[in-house]
């Protein structure tokens, strides 16, 4: 007999994606450069960013539902870190884009749409860190259940990082094409904007990823301790540990994950080297 799994928020994406796209199109249509070739490119990037932000919003809500099934996450453990993150984000963007906000309020609206779309995902990442931490006031959980929770939490984290990386890439593309449209091209501004946006994602992701990996190492040590083994048992034990570590993603680093999922990091580093080191 098959079991039907109910997908949370099955129709919400059908609302948020068109609304986001419509908001992006409205922003594009109000531009004074409407009709130019450069405007066409920028408007496509703006609409894509706004629509993708709507999709990211639903994706984050669904991942939150999956996380809630793994363990209780008090809202207080998420709200305050998220609020601090967004305050820091606003300050960083105000500094990096000071005097260089292309097309004024339009750029700000696109940034706010992206920030809103990423909010549920950022909250879920913070919640992953809470679920991954062992609780002293709860009953001991079987090792198998702990491994299962950790694997599921890691998958949620990787999924959210990929979505955030996509939004960052669209933000950088929108910023760069808007500069081309207004003929105020400044490579340094694009590099700083992209680096700042990527750094904000790293601030959310890296501590939680490190916590998951640390917890994974602890579980591997509990499952396959090496201290009491005879020399002829070490090879088999190390092989079993290696398989567990690969399953848990312990053979990767946060930097590996970041470079894989945040696709603008490589071009930004190359562009920074070209723009600054050649001087």
Domain span at 66: 13-277
Q: Is 196 a member of any domain? A: yes
According to DSSP, residue 274 is labeled I
Q: Is 8 a member of any domain? A: no
Are residues 161 and 205 in contact, defined by beta-carbon separation less than 8 angstroms?
Answer: yes
| Cα separation values, 94 from 34, 127, 223, Å | 26, 27, 49
Q: Is 252 a member of any domain? A: yes
Q: Is 51 a member of any domain? A: yes
Q: Is 2 a member of any domain? A: no
Distance (Å, rounded) from C-alpha 101 to C-alpha 189? 10
pLDDT in single tens digits along all 279 residues of the chain:
333 445 566 778 778 999 999 999 999 998 888 888 889 999 999 999 999 999 999 999 999 999 988 888 888 888 888 888 888 877 766 665 555 444 467 888 898 999 999 999 999 999 998 887 766 555 567 777 888 888 899 999 999 999 998 898 898 888 888 888 877 777 777 777 787 888 888 888 888 988 888 888 888 888 877 777 777 777 777 888 888 888 877 777 777 776 776 655 555 555 544 544 444
* Beta-carbon contacts of residue 17 (< 8 Å; ≥ 6 apart): 51, 54, 55, 58
Q: Is 25 a member of any domain? A: yes
Are residues 215 and 132 in contact, defined by beta-carbon separation less than 8 angstroms?
Answer: yes
Q: Is 221 a member of any domain? A: yes
Q: How far out from the chain centre does Cα 222 lie? A: 31
Q: Is 151 exposed, middle or buried (0-12, 13-18, 19+ CB in 10 A)?
A: middle
Q: Total structural domains in the chain?
A: 1
Q: Is 193 a member of any domain? A: yes
Are residues 117 and 57 in contact, defined by beta-carbon separation less than 8 angstroms?
Answer: yes
């Amino acid at each position: 007999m098959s079991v039907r799994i109910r997908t949370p928020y099955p129709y919400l994406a059908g609302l948020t994606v068109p609304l986001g796209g419509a908001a992006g199109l409205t922003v594009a249509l109000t531009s004074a450069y409407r009709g130019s070739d450069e405007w066409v490119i920028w408007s496509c990037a703006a609409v894509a960013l706004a629509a993708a932000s709507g999709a990211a919003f639903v994706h984050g809500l669904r991942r939150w539902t999956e996380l809630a099934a793994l363990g209780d996450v008090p809202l207080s453990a998420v709200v305050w870190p998220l609020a601090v993150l967004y305050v820091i984000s606003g300050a960083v963007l105000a500094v990096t884009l000071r005097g260089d906000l292309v097309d004024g309020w339009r750029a700000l609206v696109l940034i706010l749409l992206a920030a809103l779309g990423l909010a549920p995902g950022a909250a879920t990442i913070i919640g992953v860190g809470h679920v991954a931490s062992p609780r002293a006031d709860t009953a001991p959980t079987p090792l198998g259940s702990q491994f299962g929770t950790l694997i599921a939490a890691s998958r949620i984290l990787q999924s959210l990082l990929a979505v955030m990386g996509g939004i960052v890439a669209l933000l950088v593309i929108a910023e760069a094409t808007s500069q081309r449209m207004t003929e105020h091209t400044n490579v340094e501004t694009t590099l700083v904007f992209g680096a700042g946006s990527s750094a904000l994602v790293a601030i959310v992701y890296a501590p939680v990823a490190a916590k998951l990996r640390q917890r994974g190492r602890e579980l591997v040590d509990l499952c396959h301790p090496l201290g009491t083994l005879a020399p002829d048992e070490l090879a088999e034990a190390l092989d079993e540990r290696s398989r567990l570590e690969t399953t848990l993603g312990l053979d990767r680093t946060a930097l590996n994950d970041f470079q894989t999922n945040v696709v603008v990091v490589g071009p930004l580093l190359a562009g920074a080297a070209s723009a600054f080191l050649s001087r």
